[in-house]
Structure 1
Amino acid sequence: MGKRDYYDVLGVTRSSTADEIKKAYRKMAIKYHPDKNPGDKKSEDNFKEAAEAYEVLSNADKKKRYDQFGHAGGAASANGGGYGGGNMNMDDIFSQFGDIFGGGGGSPFDSFFGGQQQSRGGRRVSRGSNLRIKVKLTLEEIAKGVEKKVKVNKQIICETCDGSGAKDKSSFHTCHTCNGSGSVRRVTNTILGQMQTTSTCPTCNGEGSEITAKCTVCHGDGLTRGEETININIPAGVSEGMQLSMSGKGNSAPRGGIAGDLIILIEELPHELLKREGNNIIYDLHVSFIDAAVGSSVEVPTIDGKAKIKIEPGTQGGKILRLKSKGVPEVNSYHRGDQLIYVNIWTPKALSKDEREMLDKLKDSPNFKPQPGKNEKSFFDKMKEYFE
C-alpha cells in the first residue's frame, strides 16, 4: 500500500500557511504520542507518519519538490537533497518538538504531577496541574451509575496568542544563555579533576527561547481563566472517598504542553431510610408484635423501588431477612450485594382501657410467656443462618 498524501495526513491543504501546518502537526503529535498511547502500534505508526509529513511540508524546498513531484520527488535524495522522512527514527522525531512546542523538545508526557520536567534533548515541555472536584451522589445513583455534567473553572489556552505567551511571532528569540538548547553546562574543578554538569537554563527555564514582548491578554502566561462543562460517566458501585481520574481535563499548559488531569472525589449522600454497608443495603423494619405473632405482608423500600416481603407467624425481634441481589453492584462487575432487613418488634407506648384488658387476658397464656431456650436464637446463630 502506497504512502498517504502528506496534506491528508495532517488534515491541511496546499494553500495552508506554515503556521497552520505547524498547528496541525502539533495536534496530531499530541494525539498519537507514544507516551500517551503506550503499546499502541497503530498510534505509533500514525505518530511517525505525521512527523514524516511535517518534516517535508515544513521545509520550503522539500514542500516545493513534493508539490511538483509528489512522493516520487523523494527518490532524488541520494545526494542528500531528498525528503529523508522515511528514514527518520524516534530521536529525529522528538528533536522536532523544540519547534512545535515553543522551544520544548522531547516528550510532552514526561511529567506526571504537573509543572515541568526535563525531557528529551535537555529541553522542557510544560504540563498543566491537576484539578480536584467533589461529586455528590445519591444511593440510587451509586447503585445504577450516572452521567454528571459539571462546570469546571480552570486555566485554558489563551486564544489571543494560542498559548505561546508572546505578542506575535517576532517576539520569540533564541535564548542568549543556552543558544536554544534549553540547558547549560558547567565545568567545576575538583580534587579528582574537572567535573562537567548539565542543568536547566535559568534564563529560559529550559524552553530554549525568550519572549521579548508578552501577550497583552495573558501577560506572557499563555493561559487565561475559563469555564468548561465536562461530562463525567460514573460507574455503578463507587463508594465514599473513591477517586476517579479523567486524563487531560485539568488545567491547560502553555506552549503546546499537556493538560493536567481532573480528579473526581466521590461523596456519598445519606439516604433517608436505607444504609449502606459495603455492597449490602441495610433497612430497619419495625412491625407490631401482633403482625409478628400472626404473620403479615409488608412493603419495604429498596434502591430499585418498593418490594413486598412476608413476615412469617412467630417472627422474633432481631431476625434478619434477605432480599438477594438488591444491594449495590461491585465496580465493573455484574455481582451485586443483598438487602438485609432487620426486624424490630414495635411496642405501643399508650393503650386504651379496652386494649389493656384484652392484653391482660392474654399475658397469662402459655404462648405469651417468653421461652428463650426454644424461640430465641443468638446473634451469631442468626448471622450463620443468613450466610447459609
Structure 2
Amino acid sequence: MDKKVWKEQVIAAVDAMAPELIDMSLFLHKNPELSGQEYQAAQRLISAAEKRGFLAKKNISGYETAFIARKGTTGPKIAFLAEYDALPVLGHACGHNLIAAMSWGAAAAFAAVAKDRAVSYLIGCPAEETSGAKVSMAADGIFDDLRAALIIHPGDSNNMGGTSYATHPLKVTFHGRPAHVASKTNKGVNALDALIMFYQGIKPLRQTFTQETILAGIITKGGTAPNIVTDEAEGKFTIRALSSHYLEETVIPAVRRLADGIALATNTKVEAVHYEPLFKELINDPELMKFFQENMTLLGEKITLLEPNDADGSTDVGNVSHAAPTIHPDIFIGSSLSAHTPEFAAATGSPYAQERLLIGAKAMAMTAIDLLDL
C-alpha cells in the first residue's frame, strides 16, 4: 500500500471525526481558561484521547494541566502539540481552541491509520501565553526522542517558514531613598529618575547591536505620591532577538550594564530579574516543510513560504524546535486578522474557522504519514 492510499485514509478519518473536532473547538471557545488554569480543556482532550485507546499521563513538568497521550509502541515517534489557554478578557483571541482541535484530530487520525507502525503523541502544552509550559517540558527532555513535532496556528494567510524572536523579559527595579520633595535637610534619592533614564537609554542602546533586536517596556511602579521622592521604581521590558545565543550572550548583558551604570550614576541600587523564561527562536525543519507544502497542495491549498529571518512574535514552540524537528505553519481563517484582538477571537469561533481546522488536522496527519517507512 503506497502513501497516497494511507493519506486518503487519514483524510477520511479526520472527516469522520469532524463533529467531534468542531465540538471540541467550540467548547473551548465558549469556555476560555487562562494559562495554567485550563482544567476543563485538558480533561476534555484527555478523555477524548483515552476513549480512542491513547494512554495518558498527567501533571507534566510541574504543570497540572499538561499531559502526554500516546498510542502505539514502535516506529517513529510523532507528536502533535495542543495549546488551549486563553487570554484575559479576550478569550481565545489567539486561536488555541483551533490548535487543540487540529492537533487532536491529526493525532487520532494518524494513530488509527499507522497502527503499530508508529507512535502517535498528543502532547498537551498549557500556558503558551505566559510562562510557556513547553520551555520546562523541553528542559525535561519531553521532546528529545521525537521524529517530528507538529503544530499549526490560525492566521490571516496560509504560510510556512520564517522564525520567531527569542525573548527573555526583564523586570528592572531601582531602589532609592524616600523623602518629602520640600524637605530642606533630606533630598532623598529618586528611583523613578533612574528608571526613566534607563527607559530612555534602551532606545539608543538598541542601535549598537549588529543583529535585529527589540527593546521595549512599561513602567509598572512609579511611586506613591507626587510629593514623595520615589524610593522604588519598577519597569518590565521585553527583550528580543533573532537568535537566543545573541540574546543571552550580547543583548541582555548590555542591558544589564546599562542598568548598572545608571544605578552608579544616580546613587541607586538596581535589580534585574527575568520574570518569564527564555523562549528560543523557532527553527522550522526543511524536510517537514517540504512534506507539509506538498500535502497542503494535495488538499487544494496554496501556501506562502516565508524567508528564514522573517520573524513574527515569540513562542515556546521555539524551545521544542531546538530539541526535535518541528514545523509551525499558519492556516488561513479570515482576512485582515491580527491575533490578540476581539476580531480574532470572534473569527476563531466562526463556522468558517471550524471548517479550516479540518484542513489543518488533515495536513498534519498526512505529513506524519510521509515520515513512515512504508
TM-score with structure 2 length normalisation? Answer: 0.23
Higher RCO (CA < 8 A, seq sep 6+): 2
Which structure has more strand as a fraction of its residues? 1
TM-score with structure 1 length normalisation? Answer: 0.22
Which structure has more helix as a fraction of its residues? 2
